[in-house]
A and B are shown apart, each in its own frame.
Chain A
Amino acid sequence: MIPELGYFSLTLAMVLSVLLCIFPLWGAHTGNLRLMRAAPSLAVGQFVFVLVSFAALIYASLTDDFTVAYVAYHSSSTLPWYYKITSTWGGHEGAILLWLVMQAGWTAVVALRSNSLPWILRARVLGVLGFLGVGFMLYTLWMSNPFELLLPYFPVEGRDLNPLLQDPGMIIHPPLLYMGYVGLSVSFAFAIAALLTGKLDNTWAKWSRPWTMTAWGFLTLGITIGSWWAYSELGWGGWWFWDPVENASLMPWLVATALLHSLSVTEKRGVFKSWTVLLAIAAFSLSLLGTFIVRSGIIVSVHAFATDPDRGLFILAFLAIVVGGALTLYAFRVSQVRSEGRYKLVSREVALWLNNIFLVVATFIVLLGTLLPMVHKEMGLGSISIGEPFFNKMFAIILVPFAILMGIGPLLRWKQNKWSFLQNKLLIAALMSIVITAAWLYSSYAVVAPLTLLATTLAVWIVMTTAADLYIKATVQTNFSQGLKRLGLSYWAMVLGHVGIAFVIAGVTLTSAYSVERDVSMKPGEIVQLNQYQYRFEGVNTIRGANYSGHAGEVSVLKNDKLVTVLHAEKRRYDIGMQFMTEAAIDAGFTRDLYLALGEQLNNGGWSLRIYHKPFVRWMWIGGVLISLAGFMILGDKRYRTSKKNTDKSQEKLV
C-alpha cells in the first residue's frame, strides 16, 4: 500500500512539474500574468508530492518491506535503523529519488524566495526548473522506479547495504553533493531566463549570486566529506585518486568557482556578461555530465554504481536536449550583448578574468583527462590510462600562477591601479612568506624539496596577502577593531574562502611530501617504529556487530615511552554479502594523523598491518569546510535578502 502511494505521489509530482514547465513559460511568452502566477504554488506542490514519495521509500526501508525490490536489494532486517534510512540513497533508484527531492526542494525555495523578482523573470526561472524536473521525474518513473515490487515471490531477508556505505560519511556525503549539483540548476535557470528575456544586465547577476554561492557551498562540503569518507573508509589512506567519479564532482566545482568570481564582476561592473552566462550554463552541464559518467558505466571507475546502457542513453538524450538547447539559445542571443565597462590592465577586473582562465584551464585538464581514454579507445587507438601522475603534474603547474594571483587580486581595485603603489607591499608579503615557510619547514624536517617549499610558500603567501588586505580594508576610515566590524559579510566570505584554499594547498603538499607508511607483519608484543612513534601490537580480538563479525587488532602507540593512544583497527566480514571490509583506526590530530589498517593473518601466526603517519592531512578538510562556509555566509548578507517591502512594488514591474 505504502509503496504504491509513493509511486502515485511521484506521478502526481510529475504532472505538476509538467504544468510548472508549461504555464509560466507560456505565460511569460504571451504576457499572461495569471499563468505566471500559478508557478510558485505548482513548485511547492511538486515538492510536497516528491517528499511524500521519498517518505514512502524511507518507511518501506524502516519497516523491512522486502516486497519493494529496492529495499530488498539495498537493506536488511539486521541493518541499524539509521543505515536503513541512508540505504534509501545507497542505490541507484533511491539516489535518483533523493536527487528529485533536492531538485523539487530547490525549486520550491526559489519559488518562495523570489518574490522581489519581476514576474516575467520569476516565471521563466521556475519554468526552466520545472522542465528539468520533468526530465528527472520521467527518468525515475520510466527507467529507475524505486518502488518496483517483487511480487508474488519476495525474499524474507534483504541483501543488505554495501558495507562500504555503512559509514557516517555516507549519510551526509550524497545529500550534500546533490544539493550542490542540483543547486547549480538554479544558476542555470537564471541564466536561461535572462537569455530568454534578453536582458543580461547586472541585476541578473545580483539575483543569481546568492543561489550560486549556496549551491557552491554545498558542493564544496560534499566533495570535502567525500574525500574524508574515502580516507577513513577505503582502508588505504587515500583521499583523492583522480577517479572519474571524483573528477565528475570536481569539474562543476571548478566552473562554479569561476562563475561566482565572474558573477561578482558582472554584478559590480557590468562586464563579462556573456562569459558569465556561459559559465552558469557550463556549471550545471558538467553536473549533468558527471551524472551521466557515473550512471552510464561509460568509464571505468573504482566506485561501483549499478550501470545500465538504457539509462545511460536516457541521460545522454536529456543532456543533449538541456545543454544543446541552452547552448543554441546562447549562440543566438549572446552576440547582441555588448559590454560597456572600461578597465586597465592592472585592475581587479583583469585579475578576476585571469582567475577564470586558470579555473577553466583546470576544468579542461580534468575533462580531457577523464574523457580522453574513452575517446582514444573509440578511435581505435587502444586503451590508455590517465591518472595521478598526469593530473598532479598539470595541477602543480597551474597552481603556481593561480596562487600568486590569488594573493594579488583582492588588493587590486576595480578599473585601474598604480602598480608602483602595490609593488612594495607585495614584495614584503612575498619575502615574509618565504622566510616564514623556510623557518617552519627547515625546523621540522630534515629534507625539504624545492617544490614542497614552493607550494607551502604559496599557501603562506595567500594567508599573508589576505591578512594584509584585511588590515588595509579595515583601517581605511577608522581603527582596526572598529573597521573589522564594518566589513561586509561577502568580504569575509572571500577571506574565508581564500584562507580555506591556503589550508588545502598546505595540507595536500605537506601530507604528500611527508607521509610515511610501513607494511609489516607483527606478532603480539612486537614493536615497530615509524617517525617518532612506536607501535606495539597487543593482539587481535574477535568482534561481533549487528550485521558483521570479524577481528580487531589492538595497537598501542607510544612516543618517548609514553602512551599516546590505543588504536583498534578492524577487519569485518558482513554476514549477508560475505564481504570483507577494513575499518581503519585513525588517531586524528591537527598536525598529524596516525592511521592503522589490519590485514590478514599470516602462516606464522603474525598479522599483516599497514601503518601510516600522515602529517597535516586534516588541513585539506579544514580548508574545505572553511571554503564551504564562505559559500553559506552570503545567506546572511542583507544585500541579497529579499525583503517583504519590495514585494508590492515588484508586482507592478511586470516587464
Chain B
Amino acid sequence: MNRKLLALIPLLAFVLVCVFLFQGLFSNPREIQTGRLGQPMPAFDLPDLMQDSKRWQDSQLKGDVYLLNVWGTWCPTCLAELDYLTQLREQGVKIIGLYYVQSYDADFDGEFDMPALREEVTSMLSRAGDPYQFNILDLHRTLSLDLGVSGAPETFLVDSKGTILLHHTGDINPRVWRAKFAPLMQELQP
C-alpha cells in the first residue's frame, strides 16, 4: 500500500505550495500592520501644526470615531490621496492629520524652519483639498514610532473609546475604502 502513497507525498506537498504561491502573487508583501491593533491610542502631548500655542493630548481625541492620517508635503502619494480624503470629509468622516517630518534631525540641522513648513502646508492643502479637522505636528516622530508608523501615507481607524481598529499603509482610494474601511465604519456609525 504505502509505497504508492509515499510516492504521492512530494506531489501533494508541491500542490499545496503552489496554492500559496498563487495567492501570494496577488497580495502586497510589503504591507505590514502595526502591533497596536486593538489597543488604545498611545499617550502623547504634541503641538498643533499651524499654531504654536495649541497642544494636543490623546485624551482630547476620545469621543468620536476618526481617521488618523500620517502625511507630509514631501510625500507624493499623500498629495495623491488628498482629493479622495477631502471627499470623505464632505461625507462626514472625521480626519485628523499627523504631520510626519521626514528630514529633520536636531543634531545636524539646527533650528527647525517652522514658518516655511506652514507655508508649504497651506499652499498644498489649498490646491489639493484640505481633509483635516486639524493637524498634529510630530517633529521628532515620537508618536509615529509609538504607533508603528514606518513612513507616509499611513492611516489608522480609531473608535470613540480611542481603540485602534485598523491600520493601512499606502494611499486611500475608493477601492481601499470600500474593502477595508467602509465595513468597519458602518458598524461603528450605523
List chain B residues, Cβ under 8 A from A373. Answer: 29
Residue on B nearest A328 in the bound complex, by CB: B11
A371 pairs with B15, CB closer than 8 A: no
Distance in angstroms between the alpha carbons of A172 and B75 in the assembled complex? 39
Task: Say whether A320 faces chain B, with CB atoms less than 8 Å apart.
Answer: yes
Q: In chain B, residues 1-46, which have Cβ atoms closer than 8 Å to a Cβ of chain A?
A: 3-4, 7-8, 10-11, 14-15, 17-18, 20-27, 29-33
Residue on A nearest B10 in the bound complex, by CB: A327
> Of the candidates A332, A334, A335, A377, which one forms a contact with B29 in the assembled complex, judged by CB atoms under 8 Å apart?
A377
Known: A327-B11, A383-B33. A312 touches B23 (CB 8 A): no
A312 pairs with B25, CB closer than 8 A: yes
Known: A324-B18, A335-B3, A383-B33. A296 touches B25 (CB 8 A): yes
Distance in angstroms between the alpha carbons of A278 and B31 in the assembled complex? 37
A300 pairs with B25, CB closer than 8 A: no
Closest-CB distance, A488 to chain B (whole angstroms): 34
Closest-CB distance, A290 to chain B (whole angstroms): 12
> Contact flags (1/0) for A250-279 with B, using CB distance below 8 Å?
000000000000000000000000100010
Task: Say whether A436 faces chain B, with CB atoms less than 8 Å apart.
Answer: no
List chain B residues, Cβ under 8 A from A312. Answer: 25
Distance in angstroms between the alpha carbons of A299 and B25 in the assembled complex? 9
List chain A residues, Cβ under 8 A from B32. Answer: 383
> Of the candidates A313, A319, A324, which one forms a contact with B11 in the assembled complex, judged by CB atoms under 8 Å apart?
A324
List chain A residues, Cβ under 8 A from B3. Answer: 335
Distance in angstroms between the alpha carbons of A299 and B23 in the assembled complex? 12
Task: Say whether A316 faces chain B, with CB atoms less than 8 Å apart.
Answer: yes
> Of the candidates A299, A327, A603, which one forms a contact with B108 in the assembled complex, judged by CB atoms under 8 Å apart?
A603
Residue on A nearest B11 in the bound complex, by CB: A327
Known: A327-B10, A378-B20, A383-B33. A309 touches B26 (CB 8 A): yes
B18 pairs with A320, CB closer than 8 A: yes
Number of interface residues, chain A, beta carbon within 8 A: 36
Max chain A Cβ within 10 angstroms of own Cβ: one of B3, B10, B15, B23: B10
List chain A residues, Cβ under 8 A from B7. Answer: 274, 330-332, 334-335
Task: Say whether A588 faces chain B, with CB atoms less than 8 Å apart.
Answer: no
Number of interface residues, chain B, beta carbon within 8 A: 24
List chain A residues, Cβ under 8 A from B20. Answer: 371, 374-375, 378
List chain B residues, Cβ under 8 A from A298. Answer: 21, 24-25, 29
Q: In chain A, residues 319-371, which have Cβ atoms closer than 8 Å to a Cβ of chain B?
A: 319-320, 323-324, 327-328, 330-332, 334-335, 371
Task: Say whether A152 faces chain B, with CB atoms less than 8 Å apart.
Answer: no
B24 pairs with A378, CB closer than 8 A: yes
A374 pairs with B29, CB closer than 8 A: yes
Distance in angstroms between the alpha carbons of A300 and B20 in the assembled complex? 16
Q: In chain A, residues 273-289, which have Cβ atoms closer than 8 Å to a Cβ of chain B?
A: 274, 278, 281-282, 285
Closest-CB distance, A447 to chain B (whole angstroms): 34
Distance in angstroms between the alpha carbons of A331 and B31 in the assembled complex? 39
Task: Say whether A382 faces chain B, with CB atoms less than 8 Å apart.
Answer: yes
Closest-CB distance, B187 to chain A (whole angstroms): 19
Distance in angstroms between the alpha carbons of A377 and B23 in the assembled complex? 10
A319 pairs with B33, CB closer than 8 A: no
List chain A residues, Cβ under 8 A from B10. Answer: 278, 281-282, 327, 330-331
List chain B residues, Cβ under 8 A from A313. Answer: 25
Residue on A nearest B108 in the bound complex, by CB: A603
> Contact flags (1/0) for A422-445 with B, using CB distance below 8 Å?
000000000000000000000000
List chain B residues, Cβ under 8 A from A330. Answer: 7, 10-11
A309 pairs with B30, CB closer than 8 A: no
Closest-CB distance, A317 to chain B (whole angstroms): 9
List chain B residues, Cβ under 8 A from A316. Answer: 18, 21-22, 25
Closest-CB distance, A595 to chain B (whole angstroms): 26
A323 pairs with B14, CB closer than 8 A: yes
Task: Say whether A619 faces chain B, with CB atoms less than 8 Å apart.
Answer: no
A382 pairs with B33, CB closer than 8 A: yes
B29 pairs with A300, CB closer than 8 A: yes
Known: A292-B21, A309-B25, A309-B26. A335 touches B4 (CB 8 A): yes
Distance in angstroms between the alpha carbons of A316 and B18 in the assembled complex? 8
Distance in angstroms between the alpha carbons of A330 and B13 in the assembled complex? 14
B11 pairs with A371, CB closer than 8 A: no
List chain B residues, Cβ under 8 A from A274. Answer: 7
A324 pairs with B14, CB closer than 8 A: yes
Distance in angstroms between the alpha carbons of A282 and B17 in the assembled complex? 14
Closest-CB distance, A619 to chain B (whole angstroms): 35
Distance in angstroms between the alpha carbons of A382 and B8 in the assembled complex? 32
Distance in angstroms between the alpha carbons of A300 and B27 in the assembled complex? 12
Max chain B Cβ within 10 angstroms of own Cβ: one of A312, A378, A382: A378
Distance in angstroms between the alpha carbons of A285 and B10 in the assembled complex? 12
Closest-CB distance, B103 to chain A (whole angstroms): 14
Closest-CB distance, A361 to chain B (whole angstroms): 15
B24 pairs with A324, CB closer than 8 A: no
Closest-CB distance, A370 to chain B (whole angstroms): 11
Distance in angstroms between the alpha carbons of A377 and B29 in the assembled complex? 8
List chain B residues, Cβ under 8 A from A335. Answer: 3-4, 7
15 contacts between A and B (CB under 8 A): A274-B7, A281-B10, A298-B21, A298-B24, A298-B25, A299-B29, A300-B29, A300-B30, A316-B18, A320-B18, A328-B11, A331-B4, A331-B7, A331-B8, A383-B33
Kindly list 18 other residue pairs between chains A and B, CB separation below 8 angstroms, not including A281-B10, A331-B4, A375-B20.
A285-B14, A298-B21, A299-B24, A309-B26, A313-B25, A323-B14, A327-B14, A330-B7, A330-B11, A331-B8, A331-B10, A335-B3, A335-B4, A373-B29, A378-B24, A383-B32, A602-B108, A603-B108
Listed in ascending order, the chain A residues whose CB lies under 8 Å from chain B are: 274, 278, 281-282, 285, 292, 296-300, 309, 312-313, 316, 319-320, 323-324, 327-328, 330-332, 334-335, 371, 373-375, 377-378, 382-383, 602-603
